[in-house]
Amino acid sequence: MSTLKLTLLQQPLVWMDGEANLRFFDTLLSDLKDRDLIVLPEMFTTGFAMEAAKSSLPEARVIAWLHEKAQAAGAMVGGSAAIQTERGAVNRFLLVTPEGVVHRYDKRHLFRMADEHHHYLAGDRREIIEWRGWRILPQVCYDLRFPVFSRSRDDYDLAICVANWPAPRAAHWQALLLARAIENQAYMAGCNRVGSDGNQHHYSGDSRIFSPQGETLAAGEPHQPAILHAELSLEQLREYRERFPAWRDADAFSLTGL
């Protein structure tokens, strides 16, 4: 598919109440039709809590719910959730297709300023998801600060970052999203929450969808719930990369341990 219809849900989250969050998103998702990809924020079932995995919904419950929504919308639906695994807790970005295919990416860079690295296990893989002719790189919040990890190897067309990115650093969020789009000559989408959490951290949203040239295709009003839509063109992406082939001069590199 040459066109990808993308939707981001910039919304508040109920603190540490998985079923309440699912009921809330039930209502929003019921009106979304004719989309290809629908994205919810980071830890959309709990908010960004270090203790979330101990009392969060089981992965099977979250996947079943995402699958139900994907079938109803005819789109791949995803967001990250605190998941308790046999190895330990992970901050896992789950994306589920209408056919029930489950894609998983575990957050690689854990936010040490909140001691996330003491409560969750870091992911050890960089994932690329193929969906309707598009190559998609999923990332979670703090990953956005590490450009080598998200550097395109000519292996993705769209990067998606889900987040609980606090309002005091909103300028960093917007600048880094824009930089990742321009430097990788790829579409960049950032889905951030709004509202306040149980630790009294405030979130301004400022969700964005950028073109490979750095043009703003959709923007969420700060501190307001919003549903962002954009249609992305694979033809325009390829034409731009050929017309301005900066990617041909990129330095060769490899990531060890991944």
Which amino acid would we find at residue 227?
I
Which tokens go with 211? 């073109």
DSSP element (H, E) containing 93: strand 89-96
**Residue 203 forms beta bridges with which residues?**
166, 195
Average pLDDT of the chain to the nearest whole number: 97
pLDDT at 187 over 90: yes
pLDDT recorded at residue 120: 98
In which residue are the tokens 């893989």 written? 125
Task: Give CA–CA dist 195/201, Å, rounded.
Answer: 8
Question: Hey, what CATH class is 3-248 in?
Answer: alpha beta
Q: Is the pTM of this model over 0.95?
A: yes
147 has pLDDT over 70: yes
Structure token pair of residue 78: 């995803």
Catalytic residues: 42, 107, 141
Supply 126's token pair: 């960089």
Residues in the chain: 258
Cβ(49)–Cβ(14) below 8 Å = no
Which CA distances in Å does 184 have to 148, 201, 224? 11, 31, 29
Would the pLDDT of 53 be above 90? no
Q: Which residue has the tokens 């003491």?
A: 118
Q: According to the model, what pLDDT value does residue 174 have? A: 98
- Looking at residue 170, what is its pLDDT? 98
In this prediction, residue 1 has a pLDDT band, given cuts at 50, 70 and 90, of low
CA atoms within 13 A on the CB side of 214: 9
Percent of the chain with pLDDT over 70: 100
Distances (CA, A) of 114 to 32, 48, 193, 199: 34, 10, 17, 11
Q: Which pLDDT score is estimated for 191? A: 99
Q: What's the N-to-C CA distance of the chain in angstroms?
A: 30
Task: Return d(Cα 89, Cα 146) in angstroms, integer.
Answer: 22
